[in-house]
Structures are given as structure tokens and as C-alpha cells.
Amino acid sequence: MAPPFGIDQILKNSDLVYLPITPEHCHAYSLLPVDGQHRDPFDRMLAVQAMAEDARLLSKDAAFDRYELQRIW
């Protein structure tokens, strides 16, 4: 069964915002070390965005703890 309203409505009713991937994020992504410990490209972009935007990252994945960001969960 589908929820009574979609993600757009949930975001409108919250403090959450869409965060686009900017050229600055892409540049910062290219500077992350590739050491084999956290190789998922999408996760690495999320980490870059959280660090660049001084935002908290909502994830239960402890692999994010190696980055200088605030992880919630």
C-alpha cells in the first residue's frame, strides 16, 4: 500500500532539503583518498556533500566514521 503522500510532501513538511551535486562537490570527491576501505562511489559523494555543506549525514553505516562529518544513527 502506498503512503498517503509522496516524498515531495514529506520534504515540504520538514526541515529536510534536496541537496544537488555541485561542481564543488565533484572536485572535493576527486580529492578523497582511494584506499579500499570505503569504495562505494555514492556513499563517498554523500560524505563529500555532508562535509562541504557542514551537514549531518543520516546513516547507520559506520564506514562514514572515517570522514570528518557528523553521522546520525
Decide if 24 contacts 34 (C-beta within 8 A): no
Number of neighbours of residue 67 by Cβ within 10 angstroms: 18
Handedness of CA 41, 47, 50, 53 (dihedral sign): negative
Helix (H, G, I), strand (E, B) or coil at 5: coil
Query: In terms of Cα–Cα distance, which of 47, 54, 9 is closest to 28?
Result: 47
Query: Does 33 have pLDDT greater than 80?
Result: yes
pLDDT of 1: 59
Q: Taking the model in full, what pTM does it have?
A: 0.77
- Angle formed by the axes of helices 23-31 and 41-52, nearest 10°: 110
pLDDT classification of 47: cutoffs 50, 70, 90: very high
